[in-house]
Structure 1
Amino acid sequence: MPLETPSRIVQELASQGYNAEREAVTLIAGASDPDAVLEATVDRTPGDALRVTADTVREVLEADPTSRGRNGNNNPSVSTGNTTGFSTDDGGSSPVETKGSSDRESGPSKRGSSKRGSSKRGSSKRDSSKRSVEVTGDITGRSTGTGSYEDFVAVFRDRFEKLSKKLRNRVNHRPAETVSAMSGGTDVEIIGLVNEIRSTSGGHWIVELEDTTGTVPCLVMNDRDIVELVDDLLLDECIAVSGTLSDDGEIVFVDAIHFPDVPRSYRPSTADRHVQAALISDVHVGSQEFAADAWHRFTDWLHSEEAASVEYLLIAGDMVEGVGVYPNQDEELSIVDIYDQYERFAEYLKEVPGDMEIVMIPGNHDAVRLAEPQPGFDDDLREIMSAHDARIYGNPASVSIEGVTVLMYHGVSLDELIAELPEEKASYEEPHRAMYQLLKKRHIAPQYGGHMRLAPEEEDYLVIEEIPDVFHTGHVHKLGWGKYHNVLAVNSGCWQEQTGFQKSVNIDPDYGYAPILDLDTLELTVRKFV
């Protein structure tokens, strides 16, 4: 086939079992005979290598000067337009670029230059020595839960201990057993997990809090401003209340409700250089509705000079469609074997520039346990996806990228929040607002039960102990982003068009989007590839 674009070059390399450095693809595309250069490069690449390097392509070009670009240089011209221009698979121009904070409306389209290599920033040559990736809170290899009653007690006790520490600087906590011994009319402050929420015949609300010593009923009067906060409460989350004991000492009249929350004074960290990360999720390879053309346009763009600063790709789960995840899913599969799905995903992943750093976590469609926290992929799946040497962590995982902390979570608990909270607080159309609630509660999945499956461990790995600079989720297949107390929350959409199941539950997915994060400024640009 004619190798007209970087995407087609990397697809051809992927079909032969290779991925490639971005500069290698650029050099091949700029050659006078790309097909011959590619063939010679593959022949010259060692048999046990998984990645085609720029140095190997240069060796080919040096050995046969007639195969160099028409301007006589090894590198394609960025000023004369002698090389093939960047285009989408259907002959279109650069993907739509949008910028913004909380709204999702597309900004003006930024059309690509007809000259290959036109760029806002620098060369595609990357210096990997400047990169750093560190992870904390990864459950992979540390799971000890057996499902016993004691395990569940331990995880909720740990949740209380961790979150109560974040509230103690705002209230002078008194244990439940101490409060029960106090005289009526005493001012009290209590920290506890929400054990029950119920209304009274008079329209007031009783919120029962539980700590490690007992329970305390707390009455929120319906004529108080704080009654609106009751709508935000979920069972099992940790809060604090301030109030006064009733005359008989049986109940607390609530004056204030406090959440662990992110302080409004929080200031995020940034990278020391201009470098970018692409945030994506929900690829769903193996589905009949996988948006392959959009994926090719995305990876084609990653090989362009315009994307030279994109050095990281963060994937927040659901690499494949999976098997038996929802009713009659088999009727919507293009690949019915789960391992074959991962084999195909690995081929698509090879289209990503070989010199990019990839970080991935699993989701609920992936071949790991459903209960959260989810460990990373097992050795068999890691071997299938080994060509790109991706960093694979559990779900959730807190990853520091050049000093910027990114909390990666697939997002199953968002279903729970959207079902339980008022629409203005949590909805599928604005998934980032549901993410705000998780930051406010400082917990990935506050409410246990329903769609949320909890794996009991010795500690609660779902507590948001460290405030992230960026919170990245997927799962709901909707695009949304905004800032909550200076934390950037991003739900990155998906790469799957609407399935029959989604149509039946009225989900219209936002597919083919790639949020691009500037790590030095934490500004976000959303690119569309459909």
Structure 2
Amino acid sequence: MAEETDRRIVAELAARGYNADREAITLIAGTPDPEDAIERAVETVSADALKVTGEQLRGLFEDERRDASPRRDANDSPSRASNPPVSPAKTDDEATNSAETVPVEAEVDTSAMGDGRVPVESGRQLVEILGDITGQSTGTGEYSDFVTVFRDRYERLAGKLRRRVNHRPADAIQSMPGGGNAEMIGMVNDIRSTASGHWLIELEDTTGVFPCLVMKDREIADLVNELVYDEVIAVRGTLADDAGILFTDEIFFPDVPHTHKPNTADRHVQAALISDVHVGSQEFAADAWSRFADWLHTEEAQSVEYLLLAGDMVEGVGVYPNQDEELSIIDIYEQYEAFAEYLKEVPGDLEIVMIPGNHDAVRLAEPQPAFDEELREIMSAHDARITGNPSTVTIEGVSVLMYHGMSLDEIIADLPEEKASYDDPQKAMYHLLKKRHVAPKYGGKMRIAPEERDYLVIDEVPDVFHTGHVHKLGFGTYHNVTAINSGCWQEQTAFQKSVNIDPDVGYAPIVDLDTLDVTARKFT
């Protein structure tokens, strides 16, 4: 009943042109007459306000909430209801883990959090954001910066592979006698075929480079087709008689363990995962968006409490040749203003998390920092949580790795079609999980910003991996990680037609956070 009241309040305020924060909704719902309270709340806020906040309403409803509080008897204990509760009392552990015991506004001391952890106040549970580059960028583009970031990548991924092999540095292998066994962890420096059709892989570690030969008739030869430059792998094999090359018998990837057990929410709650809205494009699917927003207000969507947007809120300017001919809004700031208006259509009590994409007005090089203060202010009506690309967001105990997905183009281009394609974007995502890096290949279309650490390494295994960018819908499971590419909200543009992209438009994958089941809803 409380959820129903909250949603009715949100709908009534939205009909009057206002969003509301969680505290405001709770204050209104706690009055004896919420309908009357809504009218008084609207009269209280200024005419040009976009959102009703708890701060604006605290004084207005303070007396009513005090009068409505439980009466106490002479011993100052709450009087008992005529019908005692049916449910048994919770133990301390159960009370700690119960969503019902979470206060509406959690008091959080952010100063004590380290390691890039950004705690966020939530009306339900603490939302934690990890791996955000925003405000942490130190790279200057010097050669030494690139050395630092690639060394960091190597060390962190090598740490995962050392459980699989007994690593010997390249310079140590070079001094070993021929004919013996050797194992090495290295970054892929080169891949080429020999005149006989075998594969020669050069692996580089911090001490040097060593060549590894994969014979064409070995089973592992198929794995060579999965390799991309700059990823970190391990090999095991036998040295040639002159110890100048390693005949490779096995190849290992950092990978997600087969034994990975994902976290799930302890109650039935859902998240909608979308991306690539592209407001400002002539092909923006406005009608589909409005149908999606309307659905979020229905009884059927009452369990959807989170909305995660994986980049490209707007179409941008100058992203591809002759883009200006396909724009309905030319000015980039006006595009964000229009996006903010569309975002107002969704329920005001949704927890929203947004990361940027390659069409957004942030630096193109990854990792991308979050939107700047000017853009945040434009999109402030819903009090969305804005973080960098990539970031890991933990909601209801479920970790969601959000990455816009620029590197999917490179993976799909480099791997055979049966291993990765635009028609099945989740398969390309599986390879990123296998490599434990969201953008392993440097160069090509990818722009990588050198930082003190590689923010693109997948240190911790996520429960859900969410990407966009390729405008195709696809989802599946890899080693118990749910991978979702969420399609788009833009019909086919002339540019997309020229490169043979047939977009999946108007889909919203809905994730049950208590089971990680996925349902793709279509609104076109």
**TM-score band, normalised by shorter chain:** 0.7 to 0.9
Deviation beyond 6 Å, 4+ runs, structure 1: 5-11, 21-24, 36-41, 53-56
Alignment of 1:245-260 (within 5 A): 245-260=239-254
Match of 1:402 in 2: 396
1:171–1:190: 8 Å Cα contact kept in structure 2? Answer: yes
Shift of the alpha carbon at 1:47? 4.4
Letter in 1 for 2:138: T
Q: Does 1:306 pair with 2:297?
A: no
* Cα distance between partner residues in 1 of 2:226 and 2:350: 41
Match of 1:476 in 2: 470
Match of 2:280 in 1: 286
SS in 1 for 2:149: helix
1:7–1:297: 8 Å Cα contact kept in structure 2? Answer: no
Which residue among 380, 386, 391 is the counterpart of 1:386?
A: 380
* Cα distance between partner residues in 1 of 2:358 and 2:243: 47
**Superposition RMSD on alpha carbons, in Å?**
2.7
Greater relative CO (CA pairs within 8 A, separation 6+): 1
Letter in 1 for 2:489: W
Shift of the alpha carbon at 1:364? 0.1
Shift of the alpha carbon at 1:312? 0.6
Which residue among 206, 218, 226 is the counterpart of 2:220?
A: 226
Kindly provide the CA deviation profile for residues 68-109 of structure 1, in whole angstroms up to 9, marking residues without a partner as x. Answer: xxxxxxxxxxxxxxxxxxxxxxxxxxxxxxxxxxxxxxxxxx
Match of 2:145 in 1: 151
1:515–1:526: 8 Å Cα contact kept in structure 2? Answer: yes
Match of 2:63 in 1: none
Match of 2:499 in 1: 505
Match of 2:32 in 1: none
Match of 1:344 in 2: 338
Which residue among 127, 131, 134 is the counterpart of 1:140?
A: 134
Letter in 1 for 2:441: Q
Which residue among 264, 289, 295 is the counterpart of 1:295?
A: 289
2:13–2:38: 8 Å Cα contact kept in structure 1? Answer: no
* Cα distance between partner residues in 2 of 1:346 and 1:160: 41
Match of 2:114 in 1: none
1:418–1:428: 8 Å Cα contact kept in structure 2? Answer: yes
Shift of the alpha carbon at 1:305? 1.5
Shift of the alpha carbon at 1:525? 1.1
Alignment of 1:16-415 (within 5 A): 18-20=18-20, 42-47=42-47, 49-52=49-52, 129-415=123-409
SS in 2 for 1:130: coil
* Cα distance between partner residues in 2 of 1:232 and 1:6: 52
1:282–1:494: 8 Å Cα contact kept in structure 2? Answer: yes
Identity %: 71
* Cα distance between partner residues in 2 of 1:133 and 1:186: 52
* Cα distance between partner residues in 1 of 2:348 and 2:53: 8
* TM-score normalised by the chain length of structure 1: 0.80
Shift of the alpha carbon at 1:38? 9.2
SS in 2 for 1:428: coil
Match of 1:89 in 2: none
Kindly provide the CA deviation profile for residues 38-76 of structure 1, in whole angstroms up to 9, marking residues without a partner as x. Answer: 9987445444753358999xx9xxxxxxxxxxxxxxxxx
* Cα distance between partner residues in 2 of 1:50 and 1:309: 25
Q: Do the aligned partners of residues 515 and 384 (structure 1) sit closer, same or farther apart at CA in structure 2, a change above 3 Å counting?
A: same
Shift of the alpha carbon at 1:20? 4.8
SS in 2 for 1:155: helix
* Cα distance between partner residues in 2 of 1:21 and 1:445: 36
Match of 2:77 in 1: none
SS in 2 for 1:273: coil
Shift of the alpha carbon at 1:186? 1.1
Letter in 2 for 1:180: Q
Match of 1:92 in 2: none
Match of 1:108 in 2: none
Which residue among 446, 449, 458 is the counterpart of 1:464?
A: 458
Aligned residues, how many? 449
Match of 2:488 in 1: 494
Shift of the alpha carbon at 1:9? 7.6
* Cα distance between partner residues in 2 of 1:388 and 1:466: 30
SS in 2 for 1:388: coil
Q: Do the aligned partners of residues 37 and 529 (structure 1) sit closer, same or farther apart at CA in structure 2, a change above 3 Å counting?
A: farther
Runs of 5+ in structure 1 lacking a partner? 28-33, 60-125
Letter in 1 for 2:386: I
* Cα distance between partner residues in 2 of 1:293 and 1:48: 27
Letter in 2 for 1:306: E
SS in 2 for 1:406: strand
* Cα distance between partner residues in 2 of 1:315 and 1:386: 15
Match of 1:123 in 2: none
Letter in 1 for 2:378: I
Kindly provide the CA deviation profile for residues 395-422 of structure 1, in whole angstroms up to 9, marking residues without a partner as x. Answer: 0001111110100000000000010001
SS in 1 for 2:381: helix
* Cα distance between partner residues in 2 of 1:38 and 1:340: 31
* Cα distance between partner residues in 1 of 2:486 and 2:468: 6
Runs of 5+ in structure 2 lacking a partner? 1-7, 29-34, 61-102, 105-121
* TM-score normalised by the chain length of structure 2: 0.81
